[in-house]
Amino acid sequence: MIALCQGAPAADAPPAAPPFRTAHNATLKAEERELESNRDFAKLRVEFNGIEGDRVPGHLYLPKAAGAARRRPAILVQHGIGDRKQAEYVVECCKLIAARGMIALAIDAPHRGERKVPGAKSPEIWNLTEVRAWFRQHCGDYSRALDYLATRPDVDGSQLGYIGFSWGAITGITFAAHDPRVRCVGSVVGGGNLLGALGPELDPARTVGRIAPRPLLFLNATKDQVVLRPFAESLHKAAGKGAVVRWHETDHIFRGTDRPRIMGELADFMKAHIAPLPLIAPPAPRAP
């Protein structure tokens, strides 16, 4: 049974150390090769070291719009719990991001896609110790993905964003809450109040308040039978008044909707709201 938590941390709460490992100075040993190229974008297969030392494969979408030589915003796009970087909705989202002149990166989560080892057992969802360790590995790999993006000469490291779907939204909220490099966040069919499963350090409803005042968009489904409405609304409430909340009359996988239009909402939100880190003005000189 999942226990509920109440509210978010106070707005003036002191900065908390991330509840997951980071390794910003560790070697990435990044590799890449081109998979596809057309008039709109180039798609590369990339690979770099993850937080646990294994290799993290990803697909990088590079726009070919005018001004391709300049440094661009880059968005990490993360799939749901049973999917992989090639999931149709992930590919769709990444292409729409590239069409708007931004770079998109989609990676395989631990034990998913190319990282699924034949014969190896995935974390059992009822084993809370395994689930929490798996959650932390997700967040650590997201951090390494941003480390990789920041090394690229075509990426503006002050304009990094995150979009997550379902489990990618749940893990991504906690990640973004603790990584100020993420300047803009999109959460699709995510939820909170998962205290019994994740504990207070990882539960998105306990961490989402730290994202403000950075732009945050929630897209949820009124007929969602996976992330029920109370869990979605608890996350919205904890995020505060600055977050944008949009509901769609559909189910968890957006069946029967104009999905490209909804993906376009995400890409448009990122393009409109992602911004460099604010400049700190020098103190005014004292009068003589």
The alpha-carbon radius of gyration of the chain (Å, integer) is 19
Q: Is there a contact between 76 and 142 (Cβ–Cβ < 8 Å)?
A: yes
CB atoms under 10 Å from CB of 18, counted, come to 18
Q: What is the pLDDT of residues 228-284, one digit of tens each?
A: 999 999 999 999 888 999 999 999 999 999 999 999 999 999 999 997 655 444 444
Interatomic CA distance for residues 93 and 87, integer angstroms: 10
Q: Which residue ranges make up each domain of the chain? A: 31-273
Model confidence pLDDT, tens digit, residues 32-46: 999 999 999 999 999
- Alpha carbons 195 and 202: distance in angstroms, whole number: 8
pLDDT tens track for 112-169:
999 988 877 777 878 899 999 999 999 999 999 999 999 999 999 999 999 999 999 9
Burial of 153 (0-12, 13-18, 19+ CB in 10 A): exposed
42 SS3 class:
strand
| Distinct helix (H) and strand (E) counts, the chain | 7, 9
Q: Are 217 and 266 a contacting pair, CB within 8 Å? A: yes
Long-range contacts of 274-282 (CB under 8 A, 24+ apart): 274/73, 274/75, 274/102, 274/159, 274/160, 274/161, 274/183, 274/184, 274/215, 275/159, 275/183, 275/184, 276/156, 276/158, 276/159, 276/183, 277/158, 277/180, 277/183
**Region of residue 111 (phi > 0: left; psi between -120 and 50: alpha; otherwise: beta):** left
Global pTM value: 0.89
Residue in the block written with tokens 């989202």: 93
CA distance 193 to 107: 26
Question: Which pLDDT tens digit goes with each residue over 53-92?
Answer: 999 999 999 998 755 558 999 999 999 999 999 999 999 9
CATH number of this structure's domain 31-273? 3.40.50.1820
**Residue 18 has what pLDDT?**
94
CA dihedral 148, 153, 157, 161 (to 10 degrees): -70
Taking all residues of the chain, what is their mean pLDDT, rounded to a whole number? 89
Q: Which two tokens stand for residue 137?
A: 């590995």
Q: The tokens of 54 are what? A: 């294994």
Q: Which H helix or E strand runs over 245?
A: strand 244-248
Q: Quick one: pLDDT band at residue 26, thresholds 50, 70, 90? A: very high
